A and B are shown apart, each in its own frame.
Chain A
Amino acid sequence: MSGREAILNRLRVALREGKDDATREQAVQARIAAAPRGVVPMRGRLPDDDRVTLFCAMAQKVSATVERVGSSANVPGAVAAYLRQRNLPARVRMGADARLGAMPWNTEPSLEIDSGRAQDEDLAGVSHAIAGIAETGTVVLHSGQDNPTTVNFLPEHHLVVVRAKDIVGDLETVFDQVRQTFGKGHMPRTLNFITGPSRSADIEQTLLLGAHGPRALHVIVVDGD
C-alpha cells in the first residue's frame, strides 16, 4: 500500500464514525465552493477617503514610507526624487507591467530602467500592486509574465505603486478579487502580501529592519486616474 493510501485510510477509519464517506465528501465540496466568510474586522470598513488614510497610516506604522501623488503621470518623478533623496543611482529594476509601462518615464531622462527579473546587485525595484489592504497597511502583488517576483525581494529598496481606488478594507475583499481575476480555484504562481520592509528580531529580540528582503519599502499611492 502506498503512503498515500495508508494515510488516507487511517483518517477515513477514524473519521467515519460520525457520518458516512459520501455525505462528508459532499459537505466538503460544498464548503469549498461556498467559501463562507468568517469574522471580518470593522476596522477597514470605511468611506473611500478614510480607508486610504488608514492604509497609509498602517503602512507607516510598520516602517514603510508612503507618498501620495495626484496621478499616475507623477509616478516617474516620484521614483526619481526618492532615489535622489537617498543618494541612490538613478536606476531601477522594473517588470513590463502595462500599468507601469503606460506612465511617462521619458519625463525622467536620466533614470535608467532595467527590465526583466531582478539581479543580486539591484539597488531599487519598482512594482505595481493589484491592491492595498487598509486593515494592515499591506500591498498585494502577483507574479506573471510582466511581474517578476524577484523585484519584490532582491533590491535594497522596493517601490510599490498602488492606485487609491484599489485600496480595500480587508483580506477577504482581495481574495474575492483574485477569484474574479483568475477564476475560482485558480491562482497566480505567487501572490505576495507585503507589510513593511523586511526585518528580524532573531538576535536578542532586537527588532532590526533589512533582513534578507528589501531594507526599505516605499509605497506610492496614486489618487487620480
Chain B
Amino acid sequence: MEIRSPAFKENARAALDDPQLRHALEHVKSGFIVKRAMAAEALPEFEKLRDSSKAIKDETLANLDKYLEAYETKVTESGGHVHWAESAADARDIILKICQSVGARTVTKGKSMISEEIELNDFLEGNGVQPVETDLGEYIIQLRGEHPSHIIAPAVHLARSQVEADFRRVHTHLPVDRDLTEPVTLLSEARKVLRAKYFQADVGITGANFLVAETGTSVIVTNEGNGDLTQILPKVHIVLASIEKIVPTLSDLSQVLRVLARSATGQDMSVYTTLSTGPRRAGDPDGPEQYHVVLLDNGRSSMIGTEFQEMLRCIRCGACMNHCPVYHAVGGHTYGWVYPGPMGSVLTPSLIGVDKAGHLPNASTFCGRCEAVCPVRIPLPKMMRHWREREFSRRLNPATQRYGLKAWAFFARRPRLYRLATSIGIPVLSLFGGRGRFKSLPLAGGWTRHRDMPAPEGRTFMQEWKQREAQKQGARI
C-alpha cells in the first residue's frame, strides 16, 4: 500500500479532529483490554506460556535457515510447492503466475497482513484477476477502497452506519427497503454475498499464523470460518507467509496457540484453528488439488543478527496496539502503512526504511504497556529507542527537535545551571497556568491542541527530592 508514514503528524492531526473515529476507538480501549486480562487471569500458567513462546521463537530465529529448509522438505514430501520471494514484487509475480496457470478469474482471500504488505489486490486486479476479501472486516475495507486500521480488527475504525451505507451502495441486487439497522443483518448479508464467491473462485489465498517445520504444515487461526472456505473450495490453495512464521514442532505450536488467542481477543482458543498439509489426498472428496506456499522475506532476513531480530518473534496478536495510548488516540491509519501501533513503530522502519517511517518510533509515550502485554515479550520501547538513536545519529529528525535536545543536554551537563533554570522556569509557568491547566502554550501547540497541559505546581523535582531526603534524615535521627 502507498506509504503515508512520513505524514504521520498530519495524519494524527486529522485523526484527532475526527469525532467518529474517536468514538470507534473507544471500542478498542474498553473491549480488548478487559477480555485479555480476564483470559490471562483464568490460566495460571499464562506467564510461563509467554516465556515458553518467547523461547520457542528465539530458538527458531537463531536457526531460521535450518528450520526453513526442514519445513520446505516436508511441504514437498506432502505434495506441496514452496516458492521463495525475496521482495514484494517477487511474491506478486509468483502468485500471479500460479493464478494464470489455472486461468483464474476470481480469487478469494482469507485475512493476510502480508497481502497488504505486498499490495497484492491492486496488482491482481491490474492483471485481470478479481480478488475478493472474505473476512468480514477485510471485505468492508475492500468495498471502501481502504486499508485495515488494526491487524486483527481491520474495520475497527468504522461505525455500523458506514458499513450499512457501503452495503447499500454495492449490493444493488438486493431490495432497497431491506432492514440493515442491526449488525447481525449486515453479517447475514455479507455471508450470503460471499458464499457465492467461494464457489466461483479458482484460487484461494490465505495467510498463515504459523508454519510447522516438523510436518510442513500451515496454520490459520480465525473466528469466522472464511479462511477455511477460502482454502477448501477452490482448485488451488496458496499460502502467503513471511519467513519468520515458522515454529519447530506441533508441541511448540501448542504453546504459541495458547498465548495467541488470549492476547488477541481474550478467547482461550479461536473458533477455527486449521492445520493444512499439502493438497488433497487420493480419494479425498474435497480440498484443493494444488497447494502452494509463498515464503516472503521482504527485508526480514536483514533484521536477523541486528538489534531488531527480536521483533521477528511477533505473532501479530494486536495486544500492543490494543493497550497503546497513542493508538487509542490516533487509530491505525495514522501510522501510514500496513502495521500500526507499537509493533508497527518498530517493524515499519525495518521494512520500508527509517527515512520514511522515522516518525513512528517517536509516537510513543514509553509507558511500557505494550511490552507488558506482548505474549512473546518483545521489548518494544527499547527497540523504538534504538530507532530514535539511529534517527538522531543520521540527522533525520527535525531541527527544532535537535536544537531542543542540544539545549537540554547543555543544561543537563551543568547541574547548577539546570537547577537554576528550572527553578526560574517552573514558577513562571505556574504563574501563567495558575493552579490549573494550560489550554495553549508556546512551542507546545501539538500537545495543547487536543488536550490541556497540566500547569506545574510550585517546585521542581530536585527541590522536592531534597526536602524529602532531608525529612527522612530528620526522621531517622
Q: Size class of B's contact patch?
A: 35 or more
Q: Is A76 in contact with chain B by the CB < 8 A criterion?
A: no
Apart from A25-B66, A192-B275, 19 more pairs, CB < 8 Å: A3-B90, A3-B297, A8-B65, A15-B65, A39-B45, A116-B285, A117-B286, A137-B268, A138-B269, A145-B283, A153-B228, A153-B232, A172-B251, A187-B78, A193-B275, A198-B271, A199-B223, A204-B158, A213-B229
Chain A residues with a Cβ closer than 8 Å to the other chain, count: 84
Q: Is B43 in contact with chain A by the CB < 8 A criterion?
A: yes
Tell me which of B148-156, B325-333, B395-403, B447-455 binds A. Answer: B148-156
CB of A114 to closest CB in B, whole Å? 12
Q: B residues 230-286 with Cβ under 8 Å of A?
A: 232-233, 243, 248-255, 257-258, 265, 267-281, 283-286
CB of A167 to closest CB in B, whole Å? 15
Q: B residues 131-159 with Cβ under 8 Å of A?
A: 134-137, 140, 153-156, 158-159
Q: Is B429 in contact with chain A by the CB < 8 A criterion?
A: no
Q: Tell me the dominant secondary structure on chain A's binding face.
A: loop
Q: Is A73 in contact with chain B by the CB < 8 A criterion?
A: no
Docked Cα-Cα span, A214 to B215, in Å, equals 29
CB of A216 to closest CB in B, whole Å? 12
Q: Do residues B251 and A36 form an inter-chain contact, with CB atoms below 8 A?
A: yes
Docked Cα-Cα span, A203 to B180, in Å, equals 12
- B297-310 interface mask toward A, CB cutoff 8 Å, 1 = contact, 0 = none? 10001101100000
CB of A211 to closest CB in B, whole Å? 4
Q: Do residues A187 and B159 form an inter-chain contact, with CB atoms below 8 A?
A: no
Q: Do residues B136 and A14 form an inter-chain contact, with CB atoms below 8 A?
A: no
CB of A62 to closest CB in B, whole Å? 7
Docked Cα-Cα span, A152 to B231, in Å, equals 13
- Residues in B whose Cβ lies below 8 Å from that of A205: 27-28, 31, 153, 156
- Residues in A whose Cβ lies below 8 Å from that of B271: 62, 194-199, 213
Count of CB-CB pairs between chains A and B under 8 Å: 275
Q: Do residues A178 and B250 form an inter-chain contact, with CB atoms below 8 A?
A: yes
Q: Is B389 in contact with chain A by the CB < 8 A criterion?
A: no
CB of B111 to closest CB in A, whole Å? 10
- Residues in B whose Cβ lies below 8 Å from that of A213: 224-226, 228-229, 271-272
Residues of A within 8 A of B (CB): 2-4, 6-8, 10-12, 14-15, 17-18, 24-25, 27-29, 31-32, 35-43, 58, 62, 95, 116-118, 120, 135-138, 143-145, 148-150, 152-154, 170-172, 175, 178-179, 184-206, 208, 210-214
User: Nearest 3 CB-CB pairs, A to B?
Assistant: A213-B225, A14-B305, A211-B224
A6, A41, A188, A204 pick with most chain B CB within 10 angstroms: A204
Q: Do residues A31 and B184 form an inter-chain contact, with CB atoms below 8 A?
A: no
Q: Is B287 in contact with chain A by the CB < 8 A criterion?
A: yes
Q: Is B113 in contact with chain A by the CB < 8 A criterion?
A: no
CB of A17 to closest CB in B, whole Å? 7
Select one of B65, B84, B232 contacting A150, CB under 8 A: B232
